[in-house]
Amino acid sequence: MNTIAKADIRQEGMRIGGEVVFTDDVVEVRYPYTDELVGTVPAGTAEHARRAFQVAADYKPALTRYERSEILKRAGELIGERRDHLPDG
């Protein structure tokens, strides 16, 4: 059984409006097969959620819906053209 070294434990922040946010309270993330601690994530508060919703509500996209749809359509075409080079899954 492999054990995870303390240095390998990831401490991730949450992202709100492009800012990485850490909190004193964290939620442990465990590997489901061994229950080993592999990392932590911030325990967000109601205020964090309010901030995130406000950022989302205030967001103004730089591209139009049409421009975004054209990008996605082209991405789909490229994936289709390169299907033989993509792994099955």
Residue ranges per domain, the chain? 6-84
> Which residue stretches of the chain have pLDDT < 50?
none
Rg (CA), the chain: 20
- The DSSP secondary-structure symbol of 18 reads T
* pLDDT of amino acid 6: 65
Q: What is the mean pLDDT of the chain?
A: 92
pLDDT on residue 81 = 93
Residue 4 confidence (pLDDT):
60
The number of angstroms, rounded, from the C-alpha of 42 to the middle of its chain's C-alpha atoms is 13
Confidence (pLDDT) at 5: 64
Sequence-separated (6 or more) residues with CB below 8 Å from residue 10 = 29, 38, 39, 40
What secondary structure letter does DSSP report for 2? -
pTM of the model: 0.61
pLDDT of res. 2: 57
pLDDT at 50: 98
Pairing of strands 37-42, 10-11: parallel
